[in-house]
Amino acid sequence: MEPVRVFLVGNPNCGKTSLFNAITGERRHVGNWPGVTVDRIEGFRRVGDRELVVSDLPGTYSLTPASPEERVVLDQLDEIAGNTMLNVIDAGNLERNLFLTMQLLELGLHPWLVFNCYDALKASGAKLDLEKVARLTGCRVFATVARTGEGIPALIAALSEPSPAGPSDNGLTVMRLPRPWQSAVETAMPSLFRQSWPNAAPSRRLRAIQALIGQPSPDAHPETESAQELEPVRAKLLQALESAGECVTGAGGLPCRLATDRYDRISRLLKATHKAAPSAEDRGSSDLDRIFTHRLWGIPVFAALIALMFWTTFSLGAYPADAIEAGIEHLRGLGAAHLPDGLWRDLLLDGIVTGLGGILVFLPSVLILFLWISLLEDSGYMSRAAFLMDRLMQGIGLHGRAFVPLLMGFGCNVPAIMSTRLLDDRRQRRLVTLLMPLVGCSARLPVLVLFCGIFFPERPGLTLSILYFINLLVLVTVGRLLSRFMPPLTQAPFMLEMPPYRLPTWRSVKSMLWDKAWHFLEKAGGVILAGTILVWSLTAFPRDVVYSRPYQAEIAALKAASQTAEIAERIAGLEESLARETMERRYMGSLGRALEPLVRPLGFGWREAVSLVPGFLAKESIVSTLSVLYKPVDNDLGTAMRREGMTPMIGFLFMLFTLLYVPCLPTVGVIWRETKSAGFTLVATLLPGVLAWSLTLITATIAGVTRTAPAASSPPGDTVVILVSIVFAVWYLVRRLRADLGGETPCASCRGTSCRVVRSDGENP
């Protein structure tokens, strides 16, 4: 049997995603801030022998799109119209939500009206006569509470009915365009599209209405732009409206008149069906806002929340991490005792167990961080944070809302870059995407925690804060420079809805944590494990190494001699040099030596140089690589590093470098997928590298860092070559950026035929 296609349409934050999850049973995260759904998402549900294919579309306030997300609905309007459309309406915010409904009805569509969050309406003491709504609009009407599942079975049963009852046009005329408007668009239609109103597709009807009122649409189509012939129609409409006693003056003009008419229709509908709550104002919300968005307390409270968030992530996360570490150590011990000596044992213990152990240890921290993010999102606080931060973000040329992706970036850059789609214009999205790799994600945390623990055992927290502060400073400086350097093309309208505060439900938090934990382990299981094995094999091959002196023979000779303390010490010394030389002559050593000139000015040794390579696959693997590489020197990583000449200062520089140096492979992938521009992706990948290198070099020079131990003095030529390449790279990046942010190039990220950038060039005054 044909599957039933169902589309969910509605305002942002009206509960579409919750409803989607409730219908399909799918686990998808739902936040209490606008813009969680950024693209069309499909889910399935089988009812008896019928299949429901449910599509969740991005939230939109109206059919005049203001962002690429809202365009998704418009682009698919004709397809949606041919199937079942669920117009999800937040029952706690009827008037504004019904605006979209009015637009849909005007086009002759028959959405099913789903009044969601119906419990909030009932709890407030308000009443809504659903039967009467159905009668007046001619639509099927449902009441649901998606978060608890109330009303969902009835909706599903109706959706899977063999043939959904056809729409009745009874009373629909009340909700349609009033006569003067309707006759005007019907006159305009043939001259625009050579089609009559009843035959035209809904998207064309919509464009005819927009052309008629001369609406400033970001989506102007060539056919409707030369709408000179509409002047007489318009004049007639104005005359008709005026004779009906409606005054069309002022700056608003026809668009204002039509919007007013839509709201008038909404008021008529609500007057007949809705009994308002005794007290319309939500007391609880405004009380909380008095603290959270207070002029004086707002920012300190926000800062305290963020501080608490990071503090719990690091210090509470340490307890389970210790337990996991002990477990891994135990496993290694077991393996070492029971497995036969050889390559496989080395692979299993030194490659896989060590590598995975190094990742699992950070699972608690990641979970705590995401617990916080999901609580802040679900409660509605994120919108307040964006409100507080907007002015600050304006300083770096960004929307307050951009604060949210940037904050999410501290968790993981990958979803954060995906969430930049909630920003209105392309330039903002690109700017945030470009800045994102400079946001220290949680994968960099292992390196920081490790080095802080080793080199700054007295003040790990302070060191960490200093590093993050420098990170923030770099972020702001780069942002400022970029926005100074590329002034905005269009000032994106700033509209930030403040949803009422909601208590986060355990169901939603749990599903987010489950999602993140799974994502993290999947990454660890896949990319990182592969990286660890690669690193291990580079350290394990070639098996036969040519040594500078016959160590084995010397050791054997010494062992044969008398057992004095002095001899034992010499044996230990020889074994150590043997191990070190083995490591240096394996492939990894050669790779490290090749990379070393690049990082030597920064004070790093070849092991650090090597660890940065798998660090590109996933930042967490820097730690596991270092522990594999330093193992021959000493079992304790800290002791090994100190013995190889690392100082606290170099440790600090290494942390700084790792914090900034390059986005990880999955991030690069996602940048490419989102921007569809190889050049931009290259810039976004290299820019942090150049920055990190220069910044670390400057710091190293100021601090006068030299690596004490086995450092061979670098030939001065190398540094010159590196400096010249850096200058060249910066020059190239600047040129690329101009092209990428400048907007002369047609924008590849737009799915549609036109976008704001193109329009601003082609627009007639």
* The 141-143 sheet, strands edge to edge: 41-47, 50-56, 4-10, 84-90, 112-116, 141-143
Distance CA 233, CA 420 (A): 42
In 410-459, alpha helices (H): 413-418, 426-435, 445-455
For 505-523, letters b (16+ CB in 10 Å) and e give eeebbebbbebbeeebbeb
- CB nearer to other proteins: give 266 or 690: 266
Are 737 and 681 contacting, i.e. CB atoms less than 8 angstroms apart? no
Options 493, 710, 715, 746; binder of other proteins; rule CB under 8 A: 493
Q: List the structure tokens of 271.
A: 């007057």
- CB nearer to other proteins: give 95 or 575: 95
Which of the stretches 172-180, 291-299, 585-593, 629-637 binds other proteins when contact is defined by CB under 8 A?
291-299
Options 96, 507, 570, 707; binder of other proteins; rule CB under 8 A: 96
The CB-of-215 to other proteins minimum distance in angstroms stands at 6
The CB-of-636 to other proteins minimum distance in angstroms stands at 48
CA-angle at 756, arms to 755 and 762, nearest 5°? 90
Options 2, 162, 165, 280; binder of other proteins; rule CB under 8 A: 280
- Measure CA 308 to chain center: 22
The CB-of-634 to other proteins minimum distance in angstroms stands at 51
Check binding of 374 to other proteins (CB under 8 A): no
Distance CA 573, CA 48 (A): 75
CA-angle at 672, arms to 404 and 742, nearest 5°? 75
Intra-chain end-to-end CA distance of the chain, in Å: 54
Binding positions for other proteins, 178-207, rule CB under 8 A: none
- CB nearer to other proteins: give 107 or 443: 107
Check binding of 388 to other proteins (CB under 8 A): yes
* 3-class DSSP state of 56: strand
- CB nearer to other proteins: give 380 or 531: 380
Options 7, 33, 61, 372; binder of other proteins; rule CB under 8 A: 61
Which of the stretches 195-203, 352-360, 366-374, 489-497 binds other proteins when contact is defined by CB under 8 A?
489-497
The CB-of-501 to other proteins minimum distance in angstroms stands at 11
Options 387, 403, 536, 652; binder of other proteins; rule CB under 8 A: 387
The CB-of-93 to other proteins minimum distance in angstroms stands at 5
CA-angle at 323, arms to 318 and 326, nearest 5°? 120
Check binding of 764 to other proteins (CB under 8 A): no
Q: Are strands 84-90 and 112-116 parallel, antiparallel or unpaired?
A: parallel
Binding positions for other proteins, 618-677, rule CB under 8 A: none
Binding positions for other proteins, 391-420, rule CB under 8 A: 391-392, 394, 400
Which of the stretches 137-145, 296-304, 317-325, 599-607 binds other proteins when contact is defined by CB under 8 A?
296-304
Number of residues engaging other proteins in binding (CB under 8 A): 48
Options 171, 190, 253, 488; binder of other proteins; rule CB under 8 A: 253
Check binding of 116 to other proteins (CB under 8 A): no
The CB-of-402 to other proteins minimum distance in angstroms stands at 14
Are 686 and 490 contacting, i.e. CB atoms less than 8 angstroms apart? no
* 3-class DSSP state of 636: coil
Check binding of 215 to other proteins (CB under 8 A): yes
Are 397 and 475 contacting, i.e. CB atoms less than 8 angstroms apart? no
Which of the stretches 16-24, 166-174, 254-262, 433-441 binds other proteins when contact is defined by CB under 8 A?
254-262
- Looking from the CA of 636 toward its CB, the CA atoms found within 13 Å total 6
Bridge-partner residues for 337, per DSSP?
Answer: none
Check binding of 293 to other proteins (CB under 8 A): yes
The CB-of-298 to other proteins minimum distance in angstroms stands at 5
Distance CA 468, CA 307 (A): 12
Distance CA 134, CA 572 (A): 88
Check binding of 532 to other proteins (CB under 8 A): no
The CB-of-282 to other proteins minimum distance in angstroms stands at 9
In 499-564, alpha helices (H): 506-523, 529-540, 551-560
Q: Quickly count: other Cβ atoms within 10 Å of residue 174's Cβ.
A: 16
Check binding of 472 to other proteins (CB under 8 A): no
Check binding of 62 to other proteins (CB under 8 A): yes
Q: Which residues are CB-contacts of 515 (< 8 A; sequence separation ≥ 6)?
A: 27, 29
Q: List the structure tokens of 110.
A: 């028959």
What does the binding site for other proteins look like in residue numbers (CB under 8 A)? 61-62, 64, 66, 93-96, 99, 215-218, 250-253, 255-256, 259-260, 263, 280, 285-286, 289, 293-296, 298-299, 383, 386-388, 390-392, 394, 400, 491, 493-498
